Structure 1
Amino acid sequence: MDGSIINLRRACMMLAVSVASTLAVMPAAQANEVSAGQTIATHGTAQGVAACIGCHGAKGEGNAAAGFPRLAGLSAAYLSTQLTAFAEGTRPNPIMQPMAKLLTASERSAVASYFAGLPAPAGVKASDSGSVTPANVGAWIATRGRWDQALPACVQCHGPGGIGVAPTFPPLAGQPAAYIASQLHNWKDGKRPPGPMALMPVVASKLSDADITAVADYYAGVGVGVTGAGKSANGSKP
Structure 2
Amino acid sequence: MKFFIFLLLTMITGLASAVEPASSKIPDNLDERIKPCIICHRDADLIDRDAYFPRIAGKPAGYLYNQLRNFRDGRRFYQPMAILLENLSDEYMREIAEYFADQPYTHPEPVVPALSPDETKSVETLMYSGDPERDLPACSACHGEALMGMQPAIPGLLGLPHAYLAAQFGGWRNGGIMRGQIPDCMSEIAKKLTQEEVNALALWLPGLPVSGQPAGADALTPELAQRCRTILSVKEVSR
The normalised TM-score by structure 2 is 0.67
Higher relative CO (Cα under 8 Å, sequence separation at least 6) belongs to 2
In structure 2, C-alpha distance between the alignment counterparts of 1:211 and 1:60, rounded to whole Å: 32
Selected match of 1:135 from 104, 114, 119: 119
Structure 1, residues 15-46: CA drift from partner, whole Å, max 9, x if none?
xxxxxxxxxxxxxxxxxxxx84322212xxxx
In structure 2, C-alpha distance between the alignment counterparts of 1:62 and 1:167, rounded to whole Å: 25
**CA contact under 8 A between 1:145 and 1:152: conserved in structure 2?**
yes
**CA contact under 8 A between 1:158 and 1:169: conserved in structure 2?**
yes
* SS class of match (2:187): helix
Which structure 2 residues correspond to residues 199-210 of structure 1 after superposition, within 5 A?
199-210=185-196
Selected match of 1:74 from 55, 59, 66: 59
* Number of the residue aligned with 2:39: 54
Which structure 2 residues correspond to residues 206-225 of structure 1 after superposition, within 5 A?
206-225=192-211
Q: What is the identity, as a one-letter code, of the residue corresponding to 1:156? A: A
Residue 166 and residue 203 in structure 1: after superposition, are their counterparts in 2 closer, same or farther (change >3 A)? same
* Number of the residue aligned with 1:87: 72
* Number of the residue aligned with 2:31: 38
Q: What is the identity, as a one-letter code, of the residue corresponding to 1:85? A: N
Q: What is the identity, as a one-letter code, of the residue corresponding to 1:212? A: V
RMSD: 3.1
State the number of aligned residues.
185
Runs of 4 or more above 4 Å deviation: 122-127, 194-197, 233-236
* SS class of match (2:68): helix
Which structure 2 residues correspond to residues 221-236 of structure 1 after superposition, within 5 A?
221-226=207-212, 232=213
In structure 1, C-alpha distance between the alignment counterparts of 2:192 and 2:102, rounded to whole Å: 35
- Give unmatched runs, 5+ long, in structure 1: 1-34, 43-50, 227-231
Q: What is the identity, as a one-letter code, of the residue corresponding to 1:187? A: W
* SS class of match (2:51): coil
- C-alpha displacement of 1:81: 0.8
In structure 2, C-alpha distance between the alignment counterparts of 1:209 and 1:82, rounded to whole Å: 26
Structure exhibiting the larger radius of gyration computed from Cα positions: 1
In structure 2, C-alpha distance between the alignment counterparts of 1:156 and 1:126, rounded to whole Å: 24
**CA contact under 8 A between 1:60 and 1:70: conserved in structure 2?**
no
2:176 corresponds to 1:176: no
In structure 2, C-alpha distance between the alignment counterparts of 1:41 and 1:184, rounded to whole Å: 28
**CA contact under 8 A between 1:146 and 1:152: conserved in structure 2?**
yes
Percent identity among equivalent residues? 29
**CA contact under 8 A between 2:77 and 2:178: conserved in structure 1?**
no
Structure 1, residues 205-224: CA drift from partner, whole Å, max 9, x if none?
11122211211222222222
* SS class of match (1:161): coil
In structure 1, C-alpha distance between the alignment counterparts of 2:95 and 2:103, rounded to whole Å: 13
